[in-house]
Amino acid sequence: MTTETRVDASIDASIDAFINALPKVELHVHLVGSASVATVLELSRRHPGSAVPTTEEELRAFYRFVDFPHFARVYRAVNALVREPEDVATLVLGLARDLAPQGARYVELQVTPYAHHMVGMPMPEVTEALDLAARRSLTEHGVEMAYIFDIPGEYGEEAARITLDHALQEPPAALVGFGIGGIEQERVKFRDAYRSAFTAARAAGLHSVPHGGEMTGPETIWEVIDGYGAERIGHGINCLTDPRLVAHLRDTQLPLDVCPTSNVRTGQIARIEDHPLPRLLEEGLYVTLNSDDPPMFATTLAEEYRVAHRVFGFGVEELAGFARNGVRASYLGEARKRELLAEIDALVAAG
Active site residues: 214
Residue 17, Cβ neighbours under 10 Å: how many?
10
User: What does residue 252 show for φ and ψ, rounded to 5 degrees?
Assistant: -90, -15
23 and 323 in contact (C-beta within 8 Å)? yes
Q: Is 120 exposed, middle or buried (0-12, 13-18, 19+ CB in 10 A)?
A: exposed
Name 110's bridge partners.
Answer: 30, 148
Distances (CA, A) of 270 to 66, 151, 233, 261, 265: 11, 28, 22, 11, 9
3-class secondary-structure state, position 322: helix
Q: What is the DSSP letter of 295?
A: T
Distance CA 42, CA 26 (A): 25
Distance CA 203, CA 138 (A): 29
What contacts 111, CB < 8 A, 6 or more positions away?
Answer: 31, 130, 147, 148, 149, 150
Distance CA 239, CA 43 (A): 38
Distance CA 310, CA 342 (A): 26
